[in-house]
Structure 1
Amino acid sequence: MTHRPVLLAPTAAVGADLDAWLQNGGAEGLRHALAAPERIIPALARAGLRGMGGAGFPTHRKWSSVAGQSAGDKYVLCNGNEDEPGTFKDRHLLSASPHQVIEGALIAAVAVDANHVLLYVNPHQHEALKSTRAAIEQWRASGLLAPIERRLGLRLALDVVESSGRYIGGEETAVIATIEGGFPFPRRKPPYPAESGVHGRPTLINNVETLANVTHILRHGADWYRALGIGEACGTKLYSLSGDVLEPGLFELPMGTSLRELVFTHGGGMLGPLAFKAVFTGGPSNTLLTADDLDVALDFDSVAQRGSRLGTGAMIVISAGTSIVRKVAEYVDFFAAGSCGQCTPCKTGTYQLSRLLRRIDTGVGVQADLRALESLCALLPGSGRCGLVDGAVTVVRSSMQQFREEYERQLID
């Protein structure tokens, strides 16, 4: 499913076989890390690695925050909850090539002196969960953990934790709550996980794809990784392409590949005779891009300059024959169902957004409904403990700005 493999695509016949991974250069990055732990974080800084789970936060800054905390129990959490529509990269990595993810997490443990490494996996992703568990058993039996334990002076705990399987369970403080045995309620920040995470201890949380890059950077060098990107962008990116395209799938391409190339070269162009209309970038919680944005470079900074976010790299393509109002209604339904209910503005606000959108989509909406949508979009941002309600508002507000005429046409007054 991965096109033009550059970095993260599993080598043929490796998969979840640790011996095959080692024969293809696996554990070399870990050996470099153990030989010079003080060089790990500077190498990530020079490489320009950023978080691939959505925010694009510089990885070295997050690692430095945890490394700078006092000694004792520390945690590295690999976040593989992945439950947002249109995003399917992490489950592929965990299913087809879990060893590079585990090795990246172990390198993180060496860098920040963490003695707990937990892979947090969505239980609905059965193959990913099965493959990750099998891979961890192989690492435990391999003897490769012993050098890490000698460096730490502590026993290293390496394990899998099933997430709640809920969308909100991927928010980083909800990850912590789940691992502590509670319901995945997001928590207010500060304190941030780097200071007070699992059981109050310093905690590093990274996305699956972020950690999968680490061993390659340590093995080949920061300059090599930077050169894989286009222009100022660094490395490669997994783009989850879906929607109205001929060849949807997961494509590993240089970071900075244009939206036009992704859709029309790698995705085979539009499904049927209808023209490109829009794309939900990074999943359905961001600002929509339109045909005017087809030449945007798909990297964090370039997409941000267009008023959107690269997010997870998910690209849900919409053709001219698809109703924007209906697609937005479907996604807001998802957010409303995914609200944990902890914050009243989020619980009731997403429900009301969903109700109003369904009225307009089904042809019974009036001008007052459109005004109510606009009012909610002004009132709701920042009202929750996490970004769920903000994401719902973003896609509604963006769709009304870009496709206002579609909303107007479906009103009955």
Structure 2
Amino acid sequence: MLYLLALPPTDSVTEGYLPAAARLGLDVTLLTDAPEAHRRAYEGRGGDAWPRIDIVPCEVRDFREVIARIAALDRRPEAVFTNSDHLQAQAALAADWFCLPGKSWRAALLTKNKAQMRRALAEAGLETVWSAELARPGEEEDVRPPFPCVVKPREGVAGEDAELVEDRAELLRHCRDVRSRRPGLPLVVEEYLPGPLHTLETLGDGRVLHVLGSFHESGVTPPHFVMRRADLLPEPPRTRTEQVVARLDALGVGFGACHTEFVAQEERIRVIEINYRSAGDQADLGLADALGIPLFEHVLRTHLGRPLPADLGARGPGRLLRLETVNATRGGTLKSAPGPAEWERDGVRLVYRPLWAVGEERPLRNSDRDHLGVVRATGTDTERIEHVVAAFLAGQRWEIA
């Protein structure tokens, strides 16, 4: 029995981890605070490609409730797993409680809490970034950061409420604005780290850490930090990889999937954030396709206590991968948009997945929450990939009223 902790449904779980659980012969008990959303997301799914799944309401942000719920269900867990940024520490503590393989809860906390991460890397002598924690309203009045600087939630995701500010007036304005909408939210302010934006995708079983690849993200334009395009690098530069891995080692990261964002400043890398889970926005699904490996099964196997194979089951040379997002430019109600699509053309496999539902109303958040959908394309020729992606996007229409 796999116990899977989740908040709202995501493509990583729906298209990646749940089908992988079926291929591994695992029944799934899904603990979530959004049971109806998951039931709607899984309607019509079944057969051999879908696991036997039981959706159980649970206050998953509280590790005590998670442990109590699992114990009360009286179905002995083989693994406790989550791919949610917000639930890594809870899943780690629950796995430890039931004496199962899992991540270190300390590592999960260090990577989730950006202030703690900065302190830990500085204490390890690996990286020093000017940073201050704003745990309570009014503390921004006393900080004297180097400008420009970035203000963001201490435990935020998807670039939500992250903004580059140029001076003290903008700093105070942004803090007031965020706290007016999200009272009590701890913030961090830190020096701006310019440079090309990259990621490193890793997978470990607690003994060996495998580097899966590195994405180069482009089109990110401050003052906000919305991902627009990412290309998988055929071979991540060794010096950068070694520096990232050293930082992961210092934080105790080495079990399961991890997605690390950093900027490259000549030969030096500087970490933006570490997400101790597989990459989202279709990147993990695309990575599995491009590398030709059973990525999601591998991640689940680590939580079952099974060692990873030396070559991860790769089927020859990897393919090129492009991710491109379609982003809202205004808030409102999505009136029309294309549905899911998947086809091959000119040697390119293209997959499109919508992230907003037609009829759904949302505000403009100036973050990755503004993605209307994501295109992922794999192939062997860069020009063909660009042509196929451009042709697909040109033929679609998204209307927000």
TM-score class, shorter-chain normalisation, is under 0.3
Question: Could you say which structure has the higher helix fraction?
Answer: 1
Q: TM-score by structure 1 length?
A: 0.24
Q: TM-score by structure 2 length?
A: 0.24
Question: Could you say which structure has the higher strand fraction?
Answer: 2
